[in-house]
Chains A and B, each alone.
Chain A
Amino acid sequence: MMFGWFKNPPLPMNEIVRNYENTPQPSPKTALSEVNFLVLDLELTGLDAKKDHIVSAGWVPIRHQEIMLGDSAHYLVKSPIGVGQSAVIHGVHDHQLKTGMELCELMAMLLQSYPGYVLVAHHAQMDLAFLTMACERCFGRSPKFKAIDTLKIEWQRLHNKGKVLTRDMLRLSSCLERHKLPKAPQHHALADAFACAQLLLSQIRQHSSSMTLGELQNLSR
């Protein structure tokens, strides 16, 4: 099932982007319980989307506010250059990356499997920059990605409580601890995506059960 898209004759590249764009995102008035989310995490060789590369990607969808483990996925990406220093952080080595997936295969799978899903990430800005860059490289152009950012939601939450914030307090591991959620092994794309999904559910539960997508988007600004 996972690779089902691959067996179909591949779509022309630009249609992948167009199809993705043509599937509408849910309206801001949609109740959160009706919104499909895709929580995503990328491990990267560095912080610069122009120079650095995606090492691995992990994601897990949320439907009806339930994290669907059966659809969780984790892929290593073939890298055009060596992983170098960042392998120390991610525990991913060059020889593993040779067995990985082509970046463009990964992007096509993401766009074709999850159109209409609201993307979620921790410190989403970074992941979106890499996704956009990847699409441009693969398909010539990229959809305009938007995402819910659990880091920003957390920032607002703490800010509203009048807390003085430090950078460390917004790290995923600190957030998990604050929300009394199970710890995630650091720097594994799927583990982090799963942890981020749990964080999102906890953050949503701090608010009324009738919360809408628009209200959540406001918190994530």
Chain B
Amino acid sequence: MEVTEVTKFLAETTPFDQLDADQLQALARQMSVYYFRAGEEVNTDSNRLMIVRTGVFSLYSDQQQLLTKLQSGDFYGYQQLLTDLSDQDTLLCDEDGLVYWLTAEGFQQIRYQFKNIELFFQRLFGRRLHQYKEQSTNRFTLKISDVAKARKVSISPDATVQQAAAQMTEQRVSSLLVEQNNKLVGIITDRDLRSRVVAEALPADSPVSDVMTSKPHTIDLHAYLFEAVQLMSQHNIHHLPVLRDEHLFGMITATDVIRAQQDHPVYLIGEIHRQHCEEGILQCASQILHLSQSLSNQQVPAHEASHVLTTVTDALTQSWIKLALKRLGPAPCVFTWLGFGSQARMEQGLNADQDNALLLEKEPEGEIAAYFEQLANIVCDGLNECGIVYCPGNIMASNPELRLSLKGWSKQFARWIQTPTQEALLKSSIFFDLRPIYGSKSLFNALQQDILARTKDKAVFLYHLSHNALKGTPPLGFFKTFTLERDGKQKKGLDLKKRGLILITDMARIYSLSKGISAINTRQRLIQLAQQKVMDAKDSQNLLDAFDVLAQLRWDKHQHDIAQGHEASNLLDPAVLSGLQRHQLKDVFEVINQAQSQMKYRFCREL
């Protein structure tokens, strides 16, 4: 006989929703139920699967940064169960809740028995998403609840100041909440101990109530972070007790606020836009590395991190253009600054170089030509100094061949599309991913429409483009072994970009151009291709997953390289991967293989 309350819940929870009644009952019998109180810490080393039934739990990294919130139907512990490695995470209960614990044996049984359940947890682990809830819409408006922890360190007003000092030292905090009968009556800080106890030579057994700040300012858990900043600066205080529904929740300090701001991309991007001089922009650019580290620490998925980094490049580009306009005077005609390649796709990594150009309303002749030459030089030089280095292939606005009018660009694209030679296309495929970074959007739209109208169903062009794309293959040898290659420094490894990411990017581009789809970002292209039924939904999803896995591996690799003081490299030694990751990577390459043969069939048949 089963407890229907539990089996009913499991039946509605992915991935268990595919089990029948008997299987659900057997699964439930391997579980136990535990009730967590807010503030209670979950033992993350229990080697069991935790299934959240009710309540809210916050997962923090060993750097004490919030990774994610777990809610009903979310899981924890699968990392350890899949890999035997324990995380250094901290899991805290925010709101009282029930969890179901599934024993390790129960977990292993169910995942060996059901391929889809195995796959579900591998994906969860592989992407390291931690059920990352889509918060992109409000990511720029941090709330107190995103920063404050449900950990209240409190003392009674009758305790002595010595006890207060001892507790602060022991708990490593700079302030204590003073609580009586579950009510906040004051706060006491290390500064109070200094200025009101030691400086006044009060005895160590003076009661806390004598020196505390009574009736302190407080802030609600659901308030915005900037409200805390306002309160703190307005009253010159560094500690604010946090209340939830009138009940004491914890404390937020000035340090918490500063840390949250530094780590938040919006502050850097905002900062860049406020700069009016070279030094200011360069100063901001020097923080990119720090930003990427904090993105990585917070386990922001790679595709989101790339998006943020691209936004920073955009902001830097825009700042340099504004600076150039100030220096050179207003532009003699309408123009658009174009970004190509990874910047256009919002997929920049840490080692991205420049790929840009200018689209002009009028023909670049005489004064107009001279003006935009100067503008392009200022911007390209500036970006180079910011660490976004010159393009080795000279695909930059500073190259006069890439400062063209709409007519000039249109002719250029027409040449590539109508009489494609493989050599020309090999160099030009990067131009087919383009996005306006600054200036007139309508000028850009006119160009994009022109290009898409030309590429749609253009068999010869698509043939050559596909043919080029198929020259790169995933690094899988016979018998599914990895084939390694060497870089200039004789290091062996898998090239995650050339033999992985680019192959997917190329395919997404070719399919999109064949149907006039205007999306540029690879993930968005794949999603739209499935929606418009150009690509099978399952194939699109597989490629998307493969892309995410590769992007994540590359992002982690770059972070690792930089932390070691090396240059970010795309070459990954498969020996550093866990068995599970290796297995997953082979799947990824297999997916690419299959997609490539489908593309070949579709676009490369004899014309």
Contacts and interface: CB of A to CB of B under 8 A. Distances in A.
Interface of A: 58, 60, 65-70, 72-74, 180-182, 184-185, 188, 190-191, 194-195, 197-198, 201-202, 204-205
Interface of B: 1-6, 9, 28-37, 53-54, 96, 98, 101
19 contacts: A66-B32, A67-B32, A67-B34, A69-B3, A70-B32, A72-B2, A72-B3, A74-B1, A181-B54, A181-B98, A185-B5, A191-B5, A195-B5, A197-B33, A201-B33, A202-B35, A205-B36, A205-B37, A205-B96
A192 to B, nearest CB: 10
Chain B CB within 10 Å — which of A58, A67, A181 has the most?
A67
A202 B101 CA distance: 17
Given A72-B1, A201-B33, A205-B96, 18 more contacts: A65-B35, A67-B32, A69-B3, A69-B31, A70-B32, A73-B1, A74-B1, A181-B54, A182-B5, A182-B54, A185-B4, A188-B4, A194-B3, A194-B6, A198-B35, A198-B98, A201-B34, A204-B35
B7 to A, nearest CB: 10
Contacts of A60: 3
B98 A182 contact: yes
Nearest to A63: B32
Nearest to B55: A180
Given A180-B54, A181-B54, A190 B35 contact: no
Nearest 5 interchain pairs by C-beta: A74-B1, A201-B35, A67-B33, A66-B32, A205-B37
A66 B1 contact: no
A190 B2 CA distance: 8
Chain A, interface SS category: mixed
A32 to B, nearest CB: 12
B96 A69 contact: no
Chain A CB within 10 Å — which of B28, B29, B30, B32 has the most?
B32
Given A69-B6, A182-B54, A202 B29 contact: no
A65 B34 contact: yes
B3 A70 contact: no
Given A182-B5, A190-B3, A66 B96 contact: no
A69 B28 contact: yes
Chain A CB within 10 Å — which of B30, B96, B101 has the most?
B96
Contacts of A202: 35, 96
Contacts of A73: 1
Contacts of B5: 182, 184-185, 191, 194-195
Contacts of A190: 1, 3
B98 A66 contact: no
A184 B28 CA distance: 17
B30 A205 contact: no
Contacts of A204: 35
A182 B10 CA distance: 13
A72 B1 CA distance: 8
Contacts of B2: 72
Contacts of B31: 69-70
Contacts of B98: 181-182, 198
A37 to B, nearest CB: 13
A66 B3 contact: no
Contact of B101 (A66, A182, A185, A195): A66
B100 to A, nearest CB: 8
A6 to B, nearest CB: 17
Nearest to A70: B29
Contacts of B30: 69-70
Contacts of B35: 65, 198, 201-202, 204-205
Chain B CB within 10 Å — which of A65, A69, A197, A204 has the most?
A69
Contacts of A66: 32-34, 101
Contacts of A68: 32
Nearest to A185: B4
A89 to B, nearest CB: 18
A104 B1 CA distance: 20
A36 to B, nearest CB: 13
B133 to A, nearest CB: 21
Nearest to B27: A69
Nearest to A195: B5
Contacts of B36: 205
B79 to A, nearest CB: 22
Nearest to B28: A69
B33 A69 contact: yes
A92 to B, nearest CB: 13
A199 B29 CA distance: 20
Nearest to B6: A69
A8 to B, nearest CB: 23
Nearest to B38: A205
A10 to B, nearest CB: 24
A195 B35 CA distance: 12
A205 B2 CA distance: 26
A205 B29 CA distance: 24
A61 to B, nearest CB: 10
Nearest to A58: B1
A122 to B, nearest CB: 15
A190 B32 CA distance: 15
A67 B98 CA distance: 11
B33 A198 contact: yes
A21 to B, nearest CB: 29
Nearest to B103: A70
Contacts of A69: 3, 6, 28-33
A180 B96 contact: yes
B101 A191 contact: no
Contacts of B96: 180, 202, 205
Contacts of A185: 4-5
A60 B28 CA distance: 13
Nearest to A207: B37
A197 B35 CA distance: 10
Nearest to B99: A66
A93 to B, nearest CB: 17
Nearest to B29: A70
Contacts of B29: 69-70, 72
Contacts of A195: 5
A15 B496 CA distance: 73
Nearest to B36: A205
B182 to A, nearest CB: 11
Chain B CB within 10 Å — which of A70, A184, A202 has the most?
A70
A60 B54 CA distance: 20
Nearest to B32: A66
A202 B96 CA distance: 9
